[in-house]
Structure 1
Amino acid sequence: MQHMTRRNILRAGATLAAAPFLPAWAADDAAKPASEAKPKSRLILLGTAGGPTPKPNRAAPAQVIVVNNTSYVIDCGNGVARQMILAKLKLASIRNVFLTHHHSDHNADYGNLLLLAWATDLAKRVDTYGPPPLAEMTAQFLALNDYDIRTRIADEGRPPLKDLIVPHEISAGGLVMQDDNVKVSAALVEHPPVEPAFAYRFDCPDRSIVISGDTRPSQNLVKLAQGADVLVHEVMHLPSLEQLIATEPNAKTLREHLLASHTTTEQVGRIATEAGVKTLVLSHFVPGGYPFLKDEVWFDAVRPYYSGNLVVGHDLLEL
């Protein structure tokens, strides 16, 4: 049965439902009358690569949680707007954007996502959350694109974009926001030299989903993820690290950063076990492009340390 589970997970394409088991929340809801079923949350991995350089096989880091046709975007790596379109999501459905930290693979398209959504059909307020200097970043992005924005307002009758984006800077863990669909909490994680960096927990009507952001092993994250239904966690394959580093001009500095600020396959398995999460989803793969690693490599490296539902993430995978 364990072999069948592993094989089927690795073959799963678009949804977790293709796997031979379902998370507990799915089984519980399936047994309820339609009138009692809770709104289903959708988690879509928009991009699963790690690092700032574009990869041929994975998009830059980003996730979206959808509840009641409302989208909550977590991180905005390069190309996130196009990834949302490929996931068949309307850009106008974006209500909130959350940044885990200010590395370019996580925030490069923060402004672009909102600009492109506005240029498409976004006409409602979007609240954004992240570490300082989020407010200054937002203002500078609007200034950078002022010509295009003014032109489209005059030529296409669009509302002023500056009135639609409301940034909120967060510097400590705790409750971030709550609406009719989700309750969002944050925890400080460790991703030196970047401070602050956050993980986010989304308590949805049907389940809880935690996004680790970039971090080395963190007890704050373990507490945030305690008993969660789904944990999406970054992962680094240590045996392949030396091969990756050998291709970089700043090999020594890169090696020190990766070892000090990220989480290995063994460590992520132990974190998920300690937190008691039901499903662990691997993402933000390092290496994410070269050297190329098959799903089985990632799966087998984590499985000895975590016995729950284990998913090797892919771009546009929906869970």
Structure 2
Amino acid sequence: MSDDLRHPTRRTLLGGTAALAAGLAATGAAAQAPAPVPRRSRLILLGTAGGPTPKPNRAAPAQAVVVDGHTYLIDAGNGTGRQMVLAKLKLGSLDSVFLTHQHSDHNADYGNVLLLAWATDLAHRVDTYGPPPLARMTRQFLDLNDYDIKTRMEDEGRPALADLIVPHEITAPGPVMRDERVTVTAALVQHPPVEPAFAYRFDCPDRSIVISGDTRYSPNLIALAKGADVLVHEVMYLPELDKLIATEPNAKTLREHLIASHTTTEEVGRVATEAGVKTLVLSHFVPGGYPFIKDEVWLEAVRPHFKGEIVVGRDLMEL
């Protein structure tokens, strides 16, 4: 609204009675409308591939929710540290790390991203959350890198890395953590044979963001995502997948496994519709490398099942 409408000046009054009445009406309408909430959160898709093998066109799974300069990292597949740098995120901005489940494409750089952040400028506590054996993984990673860590502590004067990482193992759904910026809640999802596996909801000051993790169609996820602004969901396109695995000697078993543990394009649309989310972001694409599937194919496969906004994710996309 202009200053002329908030505080009528001589110039405004000279415009005549009609102009003044219009201005007052506009002022009254604006006074009744709630003030827009400034955007404080950023969602960055660091890696959008699915599966453990490196892909030429997509990085391994990882997402960052950034609120007021604090980075909450969800999953840490291979190369996450470099993806953060490419996204112009300071490694030292890491506040917390959340693992959805213990599959290598989601946890391969769990320790590495913390070590690399510490070797850059991280000097504060980072809380990490995820299924067991998170605490043992943390200890073993520190043991594996003990020589490098001690050398850098002595040579560069860095604090003890072990004192900065505080792992929290979660085994059940419900509240995970809360600070002055976000409230994080987990839901159990089904990703056999890996148990437990979680989806996370981040309620930020300006919006709610849900990360599905790896899962088949999940009523628990639908309940977690009810009314969310953004749902980032894994997705599997069966026609190309069937072509890809047809040459595998264990094609039947492999297909059965994928169907049992992942979500098809149709099911993703149903989840978003039943949850009533505003925006559905497709990620963790299966297949996610070759054959390359055009964005339009993913979009057209999901569109009949969800009428809201659909975003076909890509590495380093910010929403």
Query: Aligning the two structures, in what range does the TM-score lie when normalised by the shorter sequence?
Result: 0.7 to 0.9
Q: Distance in 1 between matches of 2:54 and 2:249?
A: 17
Map of 1:251 onto structure 2: 251
Q: Distance in 2 between matches of 1:140 and 1:230?
A: 35
Map of 1:124 onto structure 2: 124
- Report if the CA contact (8 A) 1:184-1:202 is conserved: yes
SS of residue paired to 1:88: coil
Alignment of 1:122-271 (within 5 A): 122-248=122-248, 250-271=250-271
Matched positions, count: 287
- Report if the CA contact (8 A) 1:243-1:291 is conserved: no
Map of 1:317 onto structure 2: 317
Q: Distance in 2 between matches of 1:142 and 1:107?
A: 15
Give the drift of 1:250: 4.2
- Report if the CA contact (8 A) 1:92-1:123 is conserved: yes
Alignment of 1:39-188 (within 5 A): 39-188=39-188
CA displacement 1:67-114 (0-9 Å, x = unmatched):
000000000000000000000000000000000000000000000000
Please, what TM-score do these two structures have when normalized by structure 1?
0.88
Question: Amino acid of the residue matched to residue 196 of structure 1?
Answer: P
SS of residue paired to 2:231: strand
Give the drift of 1:244: 1.9
CA displacement 1:209-229 (0-9 Å, x = unmatched):
000000000100000000000
- Report if the CA contact (8 A) 1:174-1:186 is conserved: yes
CA displacement 1:182-230 (0-9 Å, x = unmatched):
0000000000000000000000000000000000001000000000000
After superposition, the CA RMSD in angstroms is: 1.2
CA displacement 1:142-185 (0-9 Å, x = unmatched):
00000000000011110000000000000000000000110000
What stretches of structure 2 of length at least 5 have no aligned partner?
Answer: 1-32
Give the drift of 1:311: 0.4
Q: Distance in 2 between matches of 1:67 and 1:99?
A: 19
Give the drift of 1:251: 3.0
Give the drift of 1:246: 3.3
CA displacement 1:112-155 (0-9 Å, x = unmatched):
00000000110000000000000000000000000000000011
- Report if the CA contact (8 A) 1:177-1:183 is conserved: yes
What stretches of structure 1 of length at least 5 have no aligned partner?
Answer: 1-30
Indicate the percent of aligned positions where both proteins have the same amino acid. 78
Task: State which structure, 1 or 2, has the greater radius of gyration over its C-alpha atoms.
Answer: 2
Q: Distance in 2 between matches of 1:247 and 1:121?
A: 48
Q: Distance in 1 between matches of 2:296 and 2:138?
A: 41
SS of residue paired to 1:171: coil
- Report if the CA contact (8 A) 1:75-1:100 is conserved: yes
Highest relative contact order (Cα 8 Å, sep 6+), 1 or 2? 1
Question: Amino acid of the residue matched to residue 231 of structure 2?
Answer: L
